[in-house]
């Protein structure tokens, strides 16, 4: 297991280094269109071939990975922080706050927030830069994506509230806030980590879908999500394995980080 | 009892096998039809139903683009262009057996021209205030008088499906080759051969050749392509270039490129005085030099090659060359010329500094380009335009919006800088574009609802469009509309990009399909389409 | 008595939440950009009067609070309004499409849970890190696939829509369920039980499941909302004529009458599922 974690960490670092380092090299220009080599296979000039506009696929992959790997985990962090505040805290405290939080979470999970996203787009200037648009999109995802983790954290916090060590600590006079931060939080960490590793790929994909609403990463800046969207049509299945490079990178990244941060061993 | 049961079973088997032997044409509708009332048709799916079921007085032959007699055997338009008289075909019946006559035409026109109906076809015929008078001059003669001359009047009757005045089935009793037998929302519309259809082929066999048509409702183009390649459907009535190329590799006999369509892709700049955009940007957009410079900096040949895989031609103006009569052949080709673009910009005081274009006040030339999300071709076109304009120092920010948000920006709030959309030309006649060119109109996209024309050339466009609408003589109309196209090419309120080709899928099982550029591209002669196996069979 | 009070309280909360959710959804739809617009506004054949009539078609919905109150009142009489974009009674649309979605979502949920539970139990039984890692990888793959790609695979392999719903729900359920079971396995009473020779099956059934029951129920409740949300892109992309496709088209057309009804249904299902899960957990605690 330790070996697996090491390998996972090394793979994740390699991908991160490649994407951050490679995207700084001028050779990898993600927006240059080679209009004579459109949808081309791998070659000396374009190692992973080109996309439908003749842009170097490797360059777009490197830049897109950098964008998504910077912003998606940040969005997941925001979502989990809100989930902790709106789910775990009321779940631990109980009473009226717990009841109100349940209603808020249910509404969060069921109301069509796409209209709110449309309003956000309407309020943004049309000339928002691609980078700013990307950041705002992931911020919105973080602000709207806390419902499911909050529900689960609430259930766990409710269980912990009734556990023996918490009862003992309360009887000893430990304050609720101290209990929450020092003693309960470590017990919530596995749940938080599980939710984090679910949220990251979900947000990467959700960002691409938000381009339908005018949000998301704007052209010509790529993101992993927009590269993965190319797989949504039968046209991508043309015997060219390079179309799947983005999927492979995302799986490797998410999978290797999951293994790297797995704390326990199965006995 | 046992013998009776045997006969019943035998009959059931015969009927079942007869059903399995039906010549049923299958293709997809991209959405549910919004209505079965032919007067209210304004979406593609409803238009398909209307075309397959509706009987019209005059039919535009999609191949020759000429008007031909249909339910009317003869017609005459008066010298002032306000009255059209029809001699109707005798002995025709609706699908439910009700006889067809002049009263049905009057009933249809009265309903169509009701202003409360808000019918697109009715609005196209409504050229002036006042009522349309239908005078029945006999069982098979009728004349219609309009309050104002209607140029190209006879062509408009191609869209007027006659409804029965007396049938209990109302608009479901039809005069076309097929009638609707079943509709399952979200699933399909089933049509059967109209047993009372009046047409016969040259050998005297009654038409249509097909027994049935099944229109399944499916908006997913991937599914359509897969089902077509598996021969589960027989036609694709319009596909994108990348699907065409894919199918032409896997099944070359199944796809056809019918040449340029009537449609175009174009972009324009917001010139509305009250638009919530920076005044200096409004100054750019109102400058003819700026618009023409942007046009010259766009490489249309590359758009055709890269985005449309060679299945498009650079557009020259609002009319495609596929519109044989109305296209102005004297229009210059839009050339890719970045040097000329820079020259035009310099004349207006623009200059390059550090690879970025600045206006005379030192503002960076940057604008947003909005278009509808979900159209892969259009998004790629926008990205290529972004790259082309970057080479002359202009920064373009692409914003893809959902359709309602886009419509609100370009039609109501005018909170946009540049927009890109496609123009779908349903009609060949320039009257169909009247609302685009009149400065007072809502569809005058770059600056709608003007109280008085903002520029001299827009005033000239108003004059020319009104003149051609009231002229009856074809050459006068052609001259006026040619001049409209020339002004549009000079002033570039719309920057026309490409005319896409008509790309269709036709199963090799079918005979008689002749793809054309006018809608409906593949089944315009539906009554003569048949399955190849039928060639050896007896006529009906 | 406690049970009756708990049920009555929860029903009240459910009703208030549903009504509030419906109003929130209606308000968002009303104030989102594009409200009151119609594609026909770009039809060059229509004259000004017709365009005005199109714009006025949604005038009733401009005062959304009044419209919503009226809509609720009409719903009480079974009138769910008329869809502006499809020009058909909303009730008819839901009756046609509701069964399709319910079957797909129900089957998808069942498939996801069965598969997730099976893999978790298999990992538990086999005590294999390899199995657990492989399952995580499989779940990770599904998380990384866009909904469109999943829908496309369905089409290519001729699989039903419930498989796509299961593909969306499974990785989330499996990940969390696996983590729950593993975390519980480290608890002192489990270690003691193993040391005393209690079988794996016995530990799982009598000592792990009761401990994680409340969270599993919470997860079950959440997974209903997840499955309903997944139904929308699956139906829209695969052309399945269900309520999800209707919801997507209505959202894109800003069809408020349909959106209100569909939102009430989705909020209702989500709230009922979560409240039901909570109630089960509370009731069993009382009994246990």
- Domain limits, chain A: 2-28+48-266
Work out the end-to-end distance of chain C between its first and last CA atoms, rounded to an integer number of angstroms.
Answer: 16
Does A111 lie at the interface with C, CB-CB under 8 angstroms?
yes
Residue A263: the pLDDT is 55
**Closest listed residue to residue C250, CA positions, set C270, C268, C230, C236:** C236
Q: Which of A31, A54, A234 sits opposite B225 (nearest CB)?
A: A234
Q: Which of A32, A39, A127, A210 to mutate to test the interface with B (most CBs of B within 10 A)?
A: A127
C-alpha–C-alpha distance, residues C89 and B80, integer Å:
47
Q: How far is CA B223 from CA B28, B190, C153, C165, in A?
A: 10, 20, 11, 19
Q: Do B434 and C44 touch (CB under 8 A)?
A: yes
Q: Do B367 and A238 touch (CB under 8 A)?
A: no
Distance (Å) from the C-alpha of residue B423 to the closest C-alpha of chain C? 10
Quote the ipTM score: 0.90
Mean pLDDT of chain C: 85
Q: Alpha helices of B57-157 — where are they, by DSSP H?
A: 102-112, 120-125, 153-156
- In C, minimum Cα distance to B33 occurs at C86
Distance (Å) from the C-alpha of residue C44 to the closest C-alpha of chain A? 26
Q: Which of C17, C132, C171 sits opposite A266 (nearest CB)?
A: C132
Residue A238: the pLDDT is 61
Size of interface B-C (CB pairs under 8 A): 97
Per-residue burial over B503-539, b = 16 or more CB atoms within 10 Å of its CB, e = otherwise? bbbbbeebebbebbbbbbbbbbbbbbbbbeeeeeeee
Q: Which of B383, B386, B420 to mutate to test the interface with A (most CBs of A within 10 A)?
A: B383
Q: A2-28+48-266 belongs to which homologous superfamily?
A: MetI-like (1.10.3720.10)
- In B, minimum Cα distance to C31 occurs at B405
Q: Which of C34, C44, C53 sits opposite B404 (nearest CB)?
A: C34
**Do residues A122 and A186 lie in contact, with contact meaning Cβ atoms separated by under 8 Å?**
no
Backbone angles phi, psi at C268, to 5 degrees: -60, -50
Does B443 lie at the interface with C, CB-CB under 8 angstroms?
yes
Q: Which of C136, C237, C267 sits opposite A258 (nearest CB)?
A: C136
The model's pTM = 0.90
User: Can you tell me the mean pLDDT for B11-24?
Assistant: 57
Distance (Å) from the C-alpha of residue C99 to the closest C-alpha of chain B? 13
List CB contacts of A122: < 8 A, sequence separation 6 or more: B405, C32, C33
- The one-digit pLDDT tens for each residue of chain A (267 residues) are 677 778 888 888 888 888 888 877 777 889 999 999 999 999 999 999 999 999 999 999 999 999 998 999 999 999 999 999 999 999 998 889 999 999 999 898 888 888 888 888 888 889 988 888 889 999 999 999 999 899 889 988 988 888 888 888 888 888 888 888 888 888 888 888 888 888 998 898 888 888 778 788 888 999 988 888 888 777 776 666 787 888 888 888 888 877 776 654 333
Q: Do A127 and B397 touch (CB under 8 A)?
A: yes
Q: In the beta sheet, which residues pair with residue B99?
A: B93
Question: Which residues 140-169 of chain A have a CB within 8 Å of chain C?
Answer: 147-148, 151-152, 154-156, 158-159
B245: pLDDT strictly greater than 60: yes
Distance (Å) from the C-alpha of residue B400 to the closest C-alpha of chain A? 5
C-alpha–C-alpha distance, residues A140 and A216, integer Å:
10
Tens of pLDDT, residue by residue over B30-77, are: 999 989 999 989 889 999 999 999 999 999 999 999 999 999 999 999
Q: Which of A129, A210, A234 to mutate to test the interface with B (most CBs of B within 10 A)?
A: A234
**Do residues C214 and A159 lie in contact, with contact meaning Cβ atoms separated by under 8 Å?**
yes
Residue B1: the pLDDT is 63
**Do residues B67 and B147 lie in contact, with contact meaning Cβ atoms separated by under 8 Å?**
no
Which residue in the block uniquely carries the two structure tokens 């912990």? A160
DSSP string, C144-176: HS-HHHHHHHHHHHT--HHHHHHHHHHHHHHHH
- In chain C, residues with a C-beta closer than 8 Å to the C-beta of A114 are 251
Query: How is residue C82 annotated by DSSP?
Result: B
Q: Interface partners of B (3+ CB pairs, < 8 Å)? A: A, C
The SS3 call for residue B83 is: strand
Q: Do A220 and B305 touch (CB under 8 A)?
A: no
Does A258 lie at the interface with C, CB-CB under 8 angstroms?
yes
**Do residues A162 and A98 lie in contact, with contact meaning Cβ atoms separated by under 8 Å?**
no
Distance (Å) from the C-alpha of residue C125 to the closest C-alpha of chain B? 42
- In chain A, residues with a C-beta closer than 8 Å to the C-beta of C136 are 255, 258-259
Tens of pLDDT, residue by residue over C211-221, are: 888 888 888 88
Residue C33 sits at the vertex; the CA angle it makes with C30 and C36, to the nearest 5 degrees, is 60
Q: Alpha helices of chain A — where are they, by DSSP H?
A: 2-22, 57-83, 89-93, 95-110, 114-123, 130-144, 147-161, 164-171, 176-178, 185-209, 224-228, 245-260
Tens of pLDDT, residue by residue over B485-540, are: 999 999 999 999 999 999 999 999 999 999 999 999 999 999 999 998 754 444 44
C-alpha–C-alpha distance, residues B195 and B192, integer Å:
9
């Amino acid at each position: 297991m330790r070996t697996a974690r090491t390998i996972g960490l090394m793979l994740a670092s390699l991908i991160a280094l490649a994407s951050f380092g490679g995207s700084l090299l001028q050779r990898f220009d993600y927006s240059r269109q080679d209009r004579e080599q459109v949808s081309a296979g791998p070659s000396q000039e374009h190692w992973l071939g080109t996309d439908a506009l003749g842009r170097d696929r490797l360059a777009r992959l490197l830049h897109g990975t950098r964008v998504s790997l910077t912003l998606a985990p940040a969005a997941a962090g925001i979502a989990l922080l809100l989930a902790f505040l709106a789910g775990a805290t009321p779940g631990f405290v109980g009473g009226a706050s717990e009841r109100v939080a349940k209603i808020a979470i249910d509404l969060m999970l069921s109301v069509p927030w796409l209209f709110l996203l449309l309003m956000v787009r309407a309020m943004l200037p049309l000339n928002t830069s691609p980078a700013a648009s990307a950041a705002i999109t992931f911020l919105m995802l973080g602000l709207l994506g806390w419902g499911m983790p909050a529900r689960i954290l609430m259930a766990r916090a409710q269980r912990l509230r009734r556990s023996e060590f918490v009862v003992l600590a309360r009887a000893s006079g430990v304050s609720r806030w101290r209990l929450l931060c020092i003693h309960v939080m470590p017990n919530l960490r596995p749940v938080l980590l599980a939710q984090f590793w679910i949220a990251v790929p979900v947000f990467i994909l959700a960002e691409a879908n938000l381009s339908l609403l005018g949000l998301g990463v704007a052209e010509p800046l790529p993101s992993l999500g927009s590269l993965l969207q190319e797989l949504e049509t039968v046209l991508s299945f043309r015997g060219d394995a390079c179309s799947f490079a983005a999927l492979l990178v995302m799986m490797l990244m998410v999978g290797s980080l999951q293994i790297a941060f797995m704390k326990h061993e199965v006995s | 009892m046992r013998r009776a049961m045997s006969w019943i079973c035998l009959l059931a088997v015969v009927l079942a096998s007869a059903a399995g032997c039906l010549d049923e044409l299958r293709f997809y509708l991209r959405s549910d039809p919004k209505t079965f009332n032919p007067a209210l048709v304004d979406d593609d799916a409803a238009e398909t139903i209307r075309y397959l079921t509706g009987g019209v007085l005059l039919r535009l032959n999609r191949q020759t683009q000429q008007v031909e007699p249909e339910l009317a055997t003869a017609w005459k338009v008066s010298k002032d262009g306000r009255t059209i008289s029809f001699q109707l075909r005798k002995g025709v019946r609706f699908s439910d057996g009700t006889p067809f006559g002049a009263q049905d035409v009057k009933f249809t026109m009265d309903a169509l021209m009701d202003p409360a109906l808000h019918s697109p076809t009715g609005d196209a015929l409504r050229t002036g205030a006042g009522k349309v008078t239908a005078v029945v001059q006999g069982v098979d003669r009728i004349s219609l008088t309009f309050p104002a001359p209607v140029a190209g009047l006879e062509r408009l009757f191609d869209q007027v499906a006659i409804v029965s005045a007396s049938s209990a089935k109302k608009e479901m009793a039809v005069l076309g080759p097929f009638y609707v037998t079943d509709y399952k929302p979200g699933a399909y519309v089933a049509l059967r051969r109209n047993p009372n259809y009046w047409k016969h082929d040259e050998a005297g066999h009654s038409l249509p050749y097909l027994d049935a048509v099944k229109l399944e409702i499916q908006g997913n183009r991937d599914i359509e392509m897969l089902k077509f390649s598996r021969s589960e459907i027989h036609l694709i009535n319009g596909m994108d270039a990348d699907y065409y190329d894919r199918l032409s590799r896997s099944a070359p006999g199944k796809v056809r490129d019918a040449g340029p369509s009537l449609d175009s892709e174009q972009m324009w700049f917001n010139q509305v005085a009250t638009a919530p955009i920076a005044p200096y940007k409004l100054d750019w957009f109102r400058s003819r030099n700026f618009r023409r410079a942007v046009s010259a900096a766009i490489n249309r040949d590359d758009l055709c090659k890269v985005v449309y895989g060679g299945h498009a031609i650079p557009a020259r103006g609002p009319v495609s060359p596929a519109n044989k009569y109305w296209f102005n052949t004297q229009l210059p080709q839009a050339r890719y010329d970045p040097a000329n673009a820079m020259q035009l910009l310099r004349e207006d005081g623009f200059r390059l500094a550090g690879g970025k274009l600045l206006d005379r006040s030192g503002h960076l030339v940057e604008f947003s380009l909005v278009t509808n999300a979900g159209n892969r071709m259009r998004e790629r076109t926008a990205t290529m335009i972004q790259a082309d304009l970057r080479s002359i120092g202009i920064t373009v920010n692409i914003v893809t919006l959902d359709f309602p948000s886009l419509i609100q920006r370009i039609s109501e709030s005018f909170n946009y800088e540049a927009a890109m959309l496609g123009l779908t030309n349903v009609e060949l006649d320039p009257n169909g574009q009247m609302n685009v060119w009149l400065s007072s109109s809502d569809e005058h996209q770059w600056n709608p609802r003007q109280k008085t024309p903002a520029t001299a050339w827009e005033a000239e466009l108003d004059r020319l469009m009104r003149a051609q609408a009231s002229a009856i003589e074809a050459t006068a109309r052609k001259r006026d509309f040619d001049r409209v196209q020339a002004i549009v090419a000079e002033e570039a309120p719309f920057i026309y990009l490409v005319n896409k080709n008509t790309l269709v899928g036709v199963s090799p099982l079918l005979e008689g399909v002749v793809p054309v550029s006018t809608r409906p591209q593949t089944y315009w002669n539906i009554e003569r389409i048949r399955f190849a196996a039928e060639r050896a069979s007896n006529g009906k | 008595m406690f049970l009756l009070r708990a049920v009555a309280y929860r029903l009240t909360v459910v009703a208030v939440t549903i009504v509030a959710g419906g109003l929130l959804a209606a308000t968002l739809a009303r104030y989102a950009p594009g409200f009151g617009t119609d594609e026909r506004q770009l039809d060059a054949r229509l004259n000004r009067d017709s365009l005005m009539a199109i714009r006025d078609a949604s005038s009733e919905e401009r005062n959304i609070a009044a419209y919503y109150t009226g809509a609720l009142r009409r719903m009480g009489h079974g009138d769910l309004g008329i869809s502006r974009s499809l020009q058909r009674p909303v009730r008819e649309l839901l009756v046609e499409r509701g069964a399709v979605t319910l079957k797909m979502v129900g089957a998808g949920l069942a498939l996801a849970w069965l598969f997730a539970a099976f893999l978790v139990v298999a990992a538990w039984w086999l005590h294999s890190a390899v199995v657990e890692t492989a399952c995580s990888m499989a779940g990770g793959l599904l998380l990384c696939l866009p909904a469109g790609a999943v829908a496309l695979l369905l089409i290519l392999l001729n699989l039903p829509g419930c498989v796509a719903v299961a593909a969306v729900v499974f990785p989330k359920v499996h990940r969390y369920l696996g983590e729950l079971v593993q975390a519980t396995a480290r608890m002192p009473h489990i270690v003691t039980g193993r040391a005393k020779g209690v079988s794996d099956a016995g530990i799982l059934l009598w000592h792990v499941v009761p401990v994680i029951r409340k969270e599993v129920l919470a997860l079950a409740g959440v997974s209903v909302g997840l499955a309903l949300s997944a139904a929308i892109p699956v139906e829209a992309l695969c052309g399945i004529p269900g309520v999800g496709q209707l919801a997507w088209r209505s959202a894109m057309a800003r069809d408020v009458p349909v959106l209100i009804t569909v939102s009430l249904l989705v909020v209702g299902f989500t709230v009922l599922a979560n409240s039901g899960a909570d109630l089960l957990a509370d009731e069993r605690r009382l009994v246990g």
